[in-house]
Amino acid sequence: MALPPSEFDKIFGSLFDNYEKISHVKIPIFLNVLSASFQMSNLKEEFEALMDEINNTNFRPDETGYLLSAKFIDDFRDSTKTNFPPDPIDNNDIKRKGKLKPNMKQNKDYFVVSKDTWDRLISEYEGGPEVTCAFDILGNANIYPITLTFAYRGTPMSITTTRALSFDTLLAQIRANFDIPEAHIVRIFAQNNKNPIDTTAPTIEILSNYANKFEIQVEIPKPPKEPKIHQPKQNPQKDQKNQEQKIVGLKNLGNSCYMNASIQSFLSLPHFTSKIESFIKGELSLNFQTLYKNILKSKSAYDPKLFKQAFGHKIPFFANTSQQDAHEFTSFFIDILHEENNEIITPLFYGTDEATTTCAICQNKTSVLEKFSSLSLPISASRRIIFSPWNLEEPMQRLSVVPETPVILYGRTRTGQRLAQAFTAEFIEAIALEAPSCFDEEENEGLAIVKLFSGQRSLCKPILVRVPLGVEVSTDDLEISVWNRIEPLFDSKNRKQAAKAFKIKEAPQRFTKSKENQFAVNEEIIVEIAAPYGDRQYGFLDHRIRTISTVISLEELVQAYFSEIQLDTQNKWRCEKCGDESCAFHKVQLIDLPLNLVIQLKRFASGNKFERDNSPVSIPHKIDLSRYFKDNGVKAEYSLRAISNHIGNLDAGHYTALGKRGQMWYLFNDNRVMQKDPPAGESEAPYILFYSREVEQQQ
């Protein structure tokens, strides 16, 4: 048996401690004598036994192998000639910073031993670090594993294999794992290629040639058809109506309301849900297929954690728990499904339009065909703004008004923002301007325009109440006055939590006192209203008096989108024919539309997610896009199936969905689901609309 290095250390230490006693002996000569005394000649036998074990040991797939650096084997081989034991095991040349050195070959760069052999070598020669590996079904070391995900009948399964393993062997493992009978033919096809791939080639060769562009198909012999008296024509809408579908919510995983509202909207599309069972490949597609099946079987709100993890794996931007944009999620979701199952998804969600640009100088037309999965309609673009320039030749009319009582005009807050100021005088000079046509004098009598509250409670707004001047008003009196002002807010489901949620807090003086009068309006009133349910950060309801806003119809937005526009001077177009830049004309026409039409109402300003366009939009239950086709005679009538609603802004908002299942409408608010009346009238909440096209109208 070779002398372990630790024993040598003890001997060396003893030698140097007693150096004076043996100073007449030369250390190199003593070491040679010492080596001979321990009969180191058996190193050759140990080395031969080690190599015999390495070459003849067969490993099973469930075993773990241990890697030895080829450097240790070389040192061990040299030690049989010098009678010196090999250096300690050093695997740092095959694994550095936690990663294996690339492109290594077995029995050249490393050797594989069993656990017992590894433990014995470490005990005798020390060293490390420990580097393990698994084995494939043929017993080959798998130090660079390849994980492939397969799906059969909607059940996904991951198989770890080696690069050198042939696909024939891999297919045999697939059969065993999925219990596929031998009568079923399993073949591999490259995308857009009718000829099957030669599966005798190594896995790495096939993956290199067809990476992410192949699929494994199982051809199942059709059983003999049983005689049937009547075979009704399939209709996905009627099938779903007759099917007893479970209507359940989705648990909020931390600001995941954008995802929950989108999923519930997609599940309200019969053309889409009827095809989910057809997904046979793709990580996200199969995860969504599993999610859909579990929702149908669930009796309460379902946890979509696994699906969200799969989506975050595909799009890392969505892997965290931050609030995200529902339209971005919707677009990525459709694109990934299309990438994984393009033949199924293309007719469901993808349309084609033609954008034509006409040169304003030579009238040359340039057309481009583009695919789209949603129509993004600007809200502000549909408004007509009439500008009337001021006539400087006509003097403004100056008025003198003697007030009956002092009035509050302007002032500054302690933060420097102008809010209101006490002002008294024998008369007030003002400039008379024409009031807008929508101005109601009685309703707006005594109304003052104020800045939004900019303190730490950013979701709350200040409330101003009328109080007599020069009279001390206690906090209790002020509370009663404010309560009378906001009492209508609690005529909803918030009433139960009103007593708990309503708070009045005193704050330092906010108004600048005039020299002539004393004012008691020195209280800052903050009203906090807890929502009936939902996340706390979204539990504030804005019941302020709304400003008058023009209602926009969806038809107007669609018409504006497809109308011909002329580019402005900041966006001139260079003509390919004449080479000149001009304010060209641009027009979009439809070429083809999908079965499901997704429409986004662009409520957020570009580059500023805090600016939200709260214009109310009337949403029709049916919309006809036939007249926007380039070719006449195409019918494109759609029925409303779902609305993804949004309140707040992108960082502090909340999403819900209003979806139609069968003939009933439901409100989906994360884990809560309640039956609702069909959407009617106009609202500022709709953000994404989901329409379905009748099958018989498709052309």
Torsion of Cα atoms, 56 then 62 then 66 then 70, to 10°: 50
Domain(s) labelled CATH 3.10.20.90 in the chain stretch across 146-219
Q: Are 367 and 353 spatial neighbours (Cβ–Cβ below 8 Å)? A: no
- Which conformational region is residue 5 in: left (phi greater than 0), alpha (psi within -120 to 50 degrees), or beta? alpha
For the domain covering 146-219, report its CATH number: 3.10.20.90
- DSSP secondary structure of 558-609: HHHHHS-EE--GGG-EE-TTT--EE--EEEEEEEE--SEEEEEEE-EETTEE
The pLDDT value given to residue 455: 36
613 backbone dihedrals φ, ψ, rounded to 5°: -85, 110
Question: What's the CA gap between 49 and 51, in Å, rounded?
Answer: 6
Which residues make up the CATH 3.90.70.10 domain(s) of the chain?
238-354+551-697
Whole-angstrom distance, CA of residue 630 vs CA of residue 588: 9
Q: What is the pLDDT of residue 599?
A: 96
What is the predicted pLDDT for the residue at 64? 86
Q: Where in the chain is the domain with CATH 3.30.2230.10?
A: 5-142
| pLDDT at res. 521 | 33
* HSE-CB of 50 using CA atoms within 13 angstroms: 23
Nearest to 69 by CA among 128, 135, 137: 128
Place of tokens 């060769």: 205
What pLDDT is attached to residue 680?
85
CA distances 121 to 11, 80, 557, 558, Å, are 21, 16, 77, 77
For 602, the enclosing helix (H) or strand (E) is strand 596-602
How far apart (Å, rounded) are the C-alpha atoms in residues 464 and 462? 7
User: What's the confidence (pLDDT) of residue 133?
Assistant: 86
| pLDDT at residue 9, as a whole number | 58
CA distance linking residue 151 with residue 290, whole number of Å:
12
* Residue 390 neighbours by CB distance under 10 Å: 7
- Tell me, what DSSP letter sits at residue 300? S
146-152 vs 155-161, strand pairing mode: antiparallel
Task: Report domain 238-354+551-697's class.
Answer: alpha beta
Report pLDDT for 101: 85
Query: Superfamily assignment of 5-142 in CATH?
Result: DUSP-like (3.30.2230.10)
Phi first, then psi, for residue 245 (nearest 5°) are: -95, 135
Q: In whole angstroms, give the CA distance from residue 503 to residue 526.
A: 7
Phi, psi of 6 (to 5 degrees): -65, -35
CA–CA distance, 139 with 159 (Å, rounded to integer): 15
Query: Which phi and psi (to 5°) does residue 134 adopt?
Result: -100, 175
Query: How distant, in Å, are the alpha carbons of 530, 542, 549 from that of 546?
Result: 20, 10, 8
Residues of the chain with pLDDT under 70: 1-41, 136-138, 147, 149-170, 173, 175-178, 181-246, 380-473, 485, 488-549, 605-611, 649-652, 695-699
pTM of the model: 0.48
- Residue 372 in contact with residue 354, Cβ under 8 Å? no
pLDDT value, residue 137: 60
Distance CA 163, CA 170 (A): 11
